[in-house]
């Protein structure tokens, strides 16, 4: 199988990731829950991964990183823990449901939400943003990279505005972490997942919280410290890590983070971008094949979505899987507003998403398969 569904989850992992998980299952106790060797071993592994994430994204301290089960939990933690009745939030139509649905719930509690729209190439309408800011605006919630078009948001633009108006910047890095260079120096909250660009196991992810930013915890419970207090600890990272962490999978994530560190994010981005270019270069660019997004942009994530003639995306994706052995993702990609904006709400799109472990041959075969489907169906 040629696996090109890496924007959903990476299938091929760096060497040693599976072994690290298996070893952890056999040797780890509960991290932070004991003074015996099994607990200490787990605690050290979790702290190592915390330091690795902090180093990767430019956080000042490992304590600024709290682990979550995925980016969805991280975004829910941020949105439900920061916004309240009377607040105003500015977001975009490119967002994933992991941000949209918590925002919809926040709206039901009295938070106002405004949306930044896009043009036909999926590029945000930056000229309209400042006009959306109100006296009660509290934050931007911005998708760093679209899981549909691969387009990236200009974070520097939002950083300038948030400084000018005293706002917060909450960033969804589900598609960018591990794929694009990231520095959270001027970002207040950064949410990420471990099983996409970070190439780790599912069930891992986390949230960076800038020192001084207060987030009311989504969960409370066991923390391993201050057990007689009625309220959950309010210092990071314990404040956002109620319950036993998934230390087994975090050990696997640590292994993939070591691979990323040694390989270099710039090198990973360069290779993934090259695979996208090869795919596009071998694709018949005619009226039968419609490619979405600004594929000529210098900075984007390795995602290409397209449609063929008037065929449904699920039909095309099914042919790719059954007749060509190529795994893609069809449909709405949990991002309904961008499909509304692109005019693809009824049939969705076929998404090809590459990883560092794909090959040039994978990209060429995928493009040729699309060409054949367009020609003979």
Do 354 and 275 contact (CB within 8 A), yes or no? Answer: yes
Contact 137, 89 (CB under 8 A): yes
Beta strands in the chain (DSSP E): 2-3, 65-68, 88-92, 112-116, 137-143, 168-172, 189-193, 205-209, 289-292, 303-308, 326-327, 350-353
What is the model's pLDDT at position 138?
98
Cα–Cα nearest to 143, from 108, 166, 118 = 118
Please, what is the angle between helix 265-281 and helix 360-376, to 10°?
A: 30
Instruction: Indicate the domain borders of the chain.
Output: 2-11+265-376, 17-263
As to burial, measured by CB atoms within 10 angstroms (0-12 exposed, 13-18 middle, 19+ buried), residue 357 is middle
Burial class (CB in 10 A: 0-12, 13-18, 19+), 159: middle
CA angle 253, 254, 256 (to 5 degrees): 65
**Multiple choice CATH, 2-11+265-376, 3.90.1170.50, 3.30.360.10, 3.90.1150.10, 3.40.30.10:** 3.90.1150.10
CATH fold of 17-263: 3.40.640
Residue by residue, pLDDT tens for the chain (377 residues) are 999 999 999 999 999 999 999 999 999 998 988 889 999 999 999 999 999 999 999 999 999 999 999 999 999 999 999 999 999 999 999 999 999 999 999 999 999 999 999 999 999 999 999 999 999 999 999 999 999 999 999 999 999 999 999 999 999 999 999 999 999 999 999 999 999 999 999 999 999 999 999 999 988 776 666 767 677 678 889 989 988 899 999 999 999 999 999 999 999 999 999 999 999 999 998 899 999 999 999 999 999 999 999 999 999 999 999 999 999 999 999 999 999 999 999 999 999 999 999 999 999 999 999 999 999 87
Please answer whether residues 174 and 96 qualify as being in contact, where contact means their C-beta atoms are separated by less than 8 angstroms.
Answer: yes
Q: Is 67 helix (H, G, I), strand (E, B) or coil?
A: strand
User: Residues with Cβ < 8 Å from 82, sequence gap 6 or more?
Assistant: 138, 139, 168, 170, 189, 213, 214, 215, 216
Which residue reads 């948030």 in tokens?
Answer: 162
């Amino acid at each position: 199988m040629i696996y090109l569904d890496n924007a959903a989850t990476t299938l091929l992992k760096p060497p040693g990731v599976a072994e690290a998980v298996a070893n952890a299952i056999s040797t780890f106790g509960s991290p932070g829950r004991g003074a015996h060797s099994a607990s200490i071993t787990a605690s050290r592994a979790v702290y190592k991964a915390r330091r690795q994430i902090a180093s990767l994204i430019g956080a000042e301290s490992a304590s600024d990183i709290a682990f979550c089960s995925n980016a969805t939990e991280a975004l829910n933690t941020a949105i439900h823990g920061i916004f309240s009745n009377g607040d105003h939030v500015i977001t975009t139509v490119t967002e994933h449901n992991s941000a949209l649905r918590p925002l919809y719930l926040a709206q039901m509690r009295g938070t106002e939400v405004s949306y930044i729209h896009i043009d036909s190439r999926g590029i945000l309408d930056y000229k309209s943003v400042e006009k959306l800011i109100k006296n009660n605006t509290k934050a931007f919630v911005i998708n760093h990279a679209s899981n549909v078009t691969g387009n990236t948001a200009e974070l520097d633009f939002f950083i300038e505005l948030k400084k000018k108006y005293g706002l917060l910047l909450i960033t969804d890095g589900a598609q960018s972490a591990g794929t694009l260079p990231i520095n959270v120096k001027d970002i207040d909250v950064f949410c990420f997942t471990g099983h996409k660009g970070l190439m780790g196991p599912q069930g891992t992810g986390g949230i960076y919280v800038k020192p001084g930013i207060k987030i009311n915890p989504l969960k409370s419970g066991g923390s391993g410290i201050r057990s007689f207090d009625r309220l959950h600890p309010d210092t990071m990272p314990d404040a956002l890590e109620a319950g036993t962490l998934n230390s087994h999978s975090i050990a696997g994530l640590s292994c993939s983070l070591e691979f990323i560190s040694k390989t270099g994010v710039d090198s990973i981005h360069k290779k993934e971008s090259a695979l996208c270019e090869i795919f596009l270069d071998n694709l018949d660019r005619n009226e039968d094949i419609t490619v979405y997004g600004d594929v000529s942009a210098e900075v984007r994530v390795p995602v290409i979505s397209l449609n063929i003639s008037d065929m449904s995306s699920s039909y095309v994706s099914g042919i790719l899987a059954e007749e060509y052995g190529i795994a893609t993702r069809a449909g709405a990609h949990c991002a309904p507003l961008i499909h509304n904006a692109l005019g693809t709400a009824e049939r969705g799109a076929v998404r090809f998403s590459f990883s560092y472990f794909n090959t040039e041959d994978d990209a060429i075969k995928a493009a040729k398969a699309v060409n054949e489907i367009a020609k003979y169906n």
